[in-house]
Structure 1
Amino acid sequence: MSRPIRLFFSFMLALMLSSQAIASEGGGEAKPSATYVDLKPSFVTNVGEPSQRMSYLKVDVTLRVASSEIAKQVEQQQPAIRNALVFLFSDAKMDEVTTPKGQEALRSEALKAVNEVMKKEEGKPLVENVLFTTFVVQR
């Protein structure tokens, strides 16, 4: 991934976090703030066709949930969530991981996969968003 793209995603994450802080400082109706759950360690997998030169994908994933109570439920399901994401990332194609459009599609699929696990294990989808805080492709 090129440096400008990484900077763009870093800027967008910082903008989202600062806007959340500004919204929570504002007066008016108290709205519960979002809670973030980091999935550690990083996901590292091969991408590309076996007949071609192998490339590697490293992704750090953070899940946004509505409350700390939901965060506890998500943390309890981390092994199942990580399993689903490992399979999703290892099935990714090179054209998906090297373009912003492909990365967004992969992020959307990751959200679906995580919420499928939560629905199966907890009875309902509890994750509001999936954020890729690091996304590196090495060719």
Structure 2
Amino acid sequence: MLGPDGEKEDPNPKLVRKGDEDPFPAASEGDLKDKAAVVHGAGGGKYRTAYYDFTEEFTSNLGNSGALVQVSLAASTHYDGRVLMWLDEHETALRSRILTELAATDEADLASVAGKEKLQQRLTKAINEALEEREGFGGVDNVYFRSFIVQ
């Protein structure tokens, strides 16, 4: 793909500095097909943070126990709106990867803050791997728990 100056354009999303216009604003204007909430953070970093709320909760058995976990998740990115669009477009595949990670988690791991933080890191990695398989680029910086219940 060629850019406006005739040079080859990089197909990967770009970091968006605060105050700069997103080159792919459709995702930030409510055009996501599942109408997932997108919120732009106003924190202290130099890049804009956009949050994608997954549309439904995730419920899974936990590994090596009869316990269940139910979580609501959001993902953040400092990249342009393409990452948000991909999260929405591939939500079914991402849900499958997330449920697999939850099922591979031991109940005891979720009893501590450190265990929950490790799960966040594993979920971020799983989402990025799934996006890389489908789009050639991940772009998710972190996953956040909006709700978290273990029974």
Q: Same fold (TM over 0.5)?
A: yes
- Please list every run of at least 4 consecutive aligned residues from structure 1 whose deviation after the TM superposition is greater than 6 angstroms: none
**Aligned-residue offset at 1:70:** 2.1
Larger RCO (CA under 8 A, 6+ residues apart):
1
Question: What is the deviation of 1:60?
Answer: 0.7
- Structure 1's unaligned 5+ residue stretches are 1-16, 25-30
Task: Choose between structure 1 and 2: higher strand proportion.
Answer: 1
Identity %: 23
Question: Whose helix proportion is higher, 1 or 2?
Answer: 1
TM-score by length of 1: 0.71
2:50 paired with 1:35: yes
* Gap regions ≥5 residues in structure 2: 1-38
What does residue range 99-118 of structure 1 map to in structure 2 within 5 Å?
A: 99-118=112-131
For residue 60 of structure 2, the aligned residue among 32, 45, 48 is: 45
CA distance in 2, matches of 1:110, 1:70: 16
How many residues end up aligned between the 2 structures?
111
TM-score (norm 2): 0.66
Corresponding residue SS for 1:124 = coil
Counterpart residue number, 1:63: 75
**Contact 2:42/2:49 (<8 A) preserved:** no
Native 8 Å contact 2:75 2:141 kept in 1: yes
